[in-house]
Amino acid sequence: MKLKTLGGLIFVVLTWGSSFIFIKFGLQDMPPITFAAYRFLLASSILLPSLLLKGKYKKVLKFTKREILSVAVLGIITVFFYYIFEFYGLQYVPAGQASVIINTDPIIVTILGAIFLGELITRRKVLGLILGYLGVTLVVIATNPTLSGSIWSLVVLGAAFSWAVGSLLAKKIAQNMDSYLMTATSVPFGTILLFTAAFITEGFVPLSRLSGLSWTSLIFLGIVSSVMTFFVWYEVLHDIEASTACITLLLVPIVTTILGAVLLFEFYTEISVLGIALTLLGVYLAQSQKNKKTAKPDIIPSTEPKTISPKIQIVNKLLRKINFENLKFQKP
């Protein structure tokens, strides 16, 4: 592995791992939806002008109604719903625990593949599912033994589900649109909804309420975590296999847990540590391959790595089953 790639992976893991801690800091001075809205207002203020600098604004002007709908729905799922669940949950759930729960999205994708595709789940994946959710259960019970605490953990799990669903949609959109353009145009839609929800539920909250630490958190989350890490992550994916990169992200909850204990004085019992370990092992088993040589990855665009993780394979198969033009969003 190149030194540059290794440095990029370390940067991504440390940034995303510490983002939960910075959210905790910011929530001390500002309500959750408003803080999330300001975070993505800052991110949007960088992403949108960058379209002009990169000359991609011409493509935006030529967006069809279908493309506008696509990026709008993506912004609603991956920005609006995901971060409402995450920021609300982090008010009551320890940062380390939240990080572990949110990073169970590979397990959710595996379950979606089994339900909607009739995918044969191997013994390895069954073991991963069992260990993963046994671990989550232990973490929830050990850290939040009350009913109220458990409910807020489920709210955080809603963020993981939102990200898994958003990943399916993003993969579909990325077939005809590059990732940067997709991200830069979807984030503003989610930001607008965040501000609307914040004004209705929390009223107008000025930035003057932020302390120095909260300002640092906002800048870190809006610029470093939401923009810079995006570029670094895709540079990493150009150099190494997607499966290797995704498994490396299992270090994110570990970083969060350590920082939470040191900076936030979050207490973890032996059962909590056991639960975290089981969850990470379960996620690893759910998204790793036992024998890469005999694996038969699906056909994907030539710009992607030749070897892909089972998580991405399931996404590809799911998307081929979806007639996106006739996709309807309604309450069950």
> What's the pLDDT score for residue 328?
32
DSSP 111-129: HHHHHHH-PPPPHHHHHHH
Considering the domain boundaries, does residue 149 fall inside one? Answer: yes
First to last CA, the chain: 47
- pLDDT attached to residue 88: 93
Run of H or E residues at 284: helix 270-287
The percentage of residues in the chain with a pLDDT greater than 70, rounded to a whole number, is 80
Number of domains in the chain: 1
Q: Within a domain: residue 208? A: yes
Whether the Cβ atoms of residue 47 and residue 181 lie closer than 8 Å to each other: no
Tell me: the pLDDT tens digits for 80-96? 999 999 999 999 888 98
**Between these two residues, 101 and 241, which has the higher pLDDT value?**
101
Residue 325 amino acid letter:
E
Per-residue pLDDT at 315 = 46
Please give the structure tokens belonging to residue 19: 């983002």
In a domain, 330, yes or no: no
Domain holding 24, by residue range, is: 3-324
Span 314-331, pLDDT tens digits: 445 544 544 433 333 333
Pair 276, 139: CB distance under 8 Å: yes
Tell me what the mean pLDDT of segment 259-287 comes to. 83
Structural domain includes residue 117: yes
42 part of a folded domain: yes
* DSSP assignment of 44-62: HHHHHHHHHHTT-HHHHHT
Could you report the per-residue pLDDT of 213-239, keeping only the tens digit for each? 999 999 999 999 989 988 888 788 778
Q: What is the mean pLDDT of residues 304-311?
A: 44
Q: Is 53 within a domain? A: yes
- Cβ atoms of 15 and 225 within 8 Å: the answer is yes
Positive or negative torsion for Cα 221, 222, 224, 226: positive
Structural domain includes residue 332: no
Q: What is the chain's mean pLDDT, rounded?
A: 80
Q: Tell me, yes or no, whether 329 lies in a domain.
A: no
What pLDDT is attached to residue 212?
Answer: 95
Q: How many Cβ atoms sit within 10 Å of the Cβ of residue 192?
A: 19
Chain segment 103-128, per-residue pLDDT in tens: 887 778 777 767 765 667 778 878 88
Q: What distance in Å separates the CA atoms of residue 309 and residue 254, rounded to the nearest whole number? A: 22
Categorize the per-residue pLDDT at 76 as very low, low, confident or very high, splitting at 50, 70 and 90: very high
